[in-house]
Amino acid sequence: MHKQRAFIGHHGPELLDDGTTRFRIWAPDAQNVSLIVVGAQTLPMTANEDGWYSIDAPYGAGTLYRFLIDDELQVPDPASRAQAGDVHAPSLVVDTSSNYLWRNPNWLGRPWEETVLYEMHVGLYGGFAAMEKHLADLAELGVTAIELMPIAEFPGDRNWGYDGVLPYAPEAAYGSPEELKHLIDTAHGLGLMVFLDVVYNHFGPDGNYLGRYAKHFFRHDQQTPWGDGIDFRRREVRDFFIDNTLMWLLDYRFDGLRFDAVHAIPDRSFLTELAERVHASVEPGRHVHLVLENEDNRASLLTAGFTAQWNDDGHNVLHALLTDESQGYYADYHQDATTKLARFLGEGFIYQGQNNRRGEARGEPSGHLPPTSFVLFLQNHDQTGNRAFGERLVSLADADALRAATAVLLLSPMVPLLFMGEEWGARQPFLFFTSHHGELADAVREGRRNEFAEFADFADEATRERIPDPNAVSTFENSRPDFSARQEPGHAEWYALYRELLSIRHREIVPRLQGARFLESRVLAQAAVLSRWQLGDGSRLRLELNLSTQAAPLPTALINGELLFASREATHAHDQLAPRMARLYLEKAT
């Protein structure tokens, strides 16, 4: 067992050696601030420079407290380490240095090349403690890293997590800080890394009081889809989020973070400073990975301290080819899809400065990056849950074509991400759910339905009324995967496929990934391409992929190689690739 020293940041309570606690808050627009100790007393705080208020008070771990702004508004600590209930409840002083004794203190993570990510929603598993029961099965399958959707405290007890308002506090409905650490510790004992999705581009609509006492936390001249942008030009704001990153990595020992929608963070210098601070703070030899979601395809960030980016381009073109969907953003990928498929497999991003359907230039050149700079997926919370009825891909695509695409997902040199239940072909939907109340609940429900008004299938109001109410408990419950179905007919076959492909990946691909690079990708026929990657040991990986319903011609001068996997039996001549088929070959170095 190992006790570690707590990370001390600029924001939030600090336990002092004499048993007291230093409380502090940045409230530059408050005239005065007091500390309310629940069940004890109210103490005036000292006004310091630059809008800070602080007090050293004779209270320790377990203390419940609030801040009183201008003698009229009680608020939780915006850097609360835990809440005694929901976002409006008192904050809780947590002794992060002694509240958990680590069983695997020498865990240093795993190299990025070994990563196979598995995205999970903690609430649908029943909380931190209940999620632990599934970790051994994931490790045995071949997953090497779990990725938790956001867990920062949000209003209510059902939410995707992107409505968080207290970024430092693990959601109370999921369990305590100690239970979160136990989950991470258990994962490390099984050889699993643990990643966390964090949201630094906005706060949720209920429970964020910063605008009342720290108006300049936001900039009113810059709008995001969620309202005023966050003002990352300010030192206090930068530290708020960078300290939050360091808390998750140092106090909780997460192995990596996924940063949500950084295209809504226009200040690039904040992102590069964050990466620099992280790499300077972790202990030598420890593997920590920083992953981006970025619609702008800013490839340059992937050489500025960030490990990889979610490859929405890759998902979108594969989805368009598998389903023939062309509405919304799929319109950018449905047209000339085969050429775009070849570009994604040969260079990473599809949009590298080209104009999208709105005539807007998007992206930066990416072919110089290693393939491992891209996280590839066929499904995730966004791509499934942002469908009106949350259908999974197994219900939308031809089974043979989906098996071929799954081979690309798990055997290409890009880093794969699976979405919970995908590996056994789960058919339960993943729906958009929240637990708002009153007018906000009405606004979220109607806003959700109106999002689909531009789609032909939802043009009439009666059809949109069928879209599940995000606030209904049934919407949440219907999204829970049936974990018992894995070995049932129709599901066991998918599970066996994922197990086989991950075994091949770990045996043949992962040991050769360091130093891998893109080599070539060419169109064979409609929805059919041939791609090759140079691997780190000098060998080459060749993909022959045909997602169409017609056989595709193959070049006559292909180099012989070891067949690693074929998604179905060959039914055509040796110079043709059967419909809806993928084959991967390893061309050994001479």
User: Which residues are tagged catalytic?
Assistant: 260, 293
The 3-state secondary structure of 530-570 reads: EEEEECCCCCEEEEEEECCCCCEECCCCCCCCEEEEECCCC
- 159-to-23, 155, 162, 483 alpha-carbon distances in Å: 30, 8, 8, 20
In terms of Cα–Cα distance, which of 111, 523, 531, 26 is closest to 289? 111
Q: Which amino acid is at 23?
A: F
CB neighbourhood size of 543 (10 A)? 22
Task: Give CA torsion, residues 67, 73, 79, 84, to 10 deg.
Answer: 80
CB neighbourhood size of 401 (10 A)? 23
Q: Are 229 and 264 spatial neighbours (Cβ–Cβ below 8 Å)? A: yes
The burial of 295, by beta-carbon neighbours within 10 Å (0-12 exposed, 13-18 middle, 19 or more buried), is given as middle
Q: How far apart are CA 171 and CA 398, in angstroms?
A: 39
- 92 beta partners: 64
The per-residue DSSP string of 28-61 comes to TT-S-EEEEETTS-EEEPEE-GGGEEEEEES--T
Q: Are 147 and 118 spatial neighbours (Cβ–Cβ below 8 Å)? A: yes
CB neighbourhood size of 74 (10 A)? 13
Q: Rg of the chain's alpha carbons, rounded to an integer? A: 25
Please give the structure tokens belonging to residue 37: 């100790």
- 529 beta partners: 523, 545
DSSP state, residue 83: B
Query: What angle, 0 to 180 degrees and rounded to 10, lies between the N-to-C axes of helices 235-246 and 268-281?
Result: 40
In terms of Cα–Cα distance, which of 86, 87, 121, 119 is closest to 431? 121
Q: How far apart are CA 147 and CA 150, in angstroms?
A: 9
Q: How far apart are CA 588 and CA 560, in angstroms?
A: 9
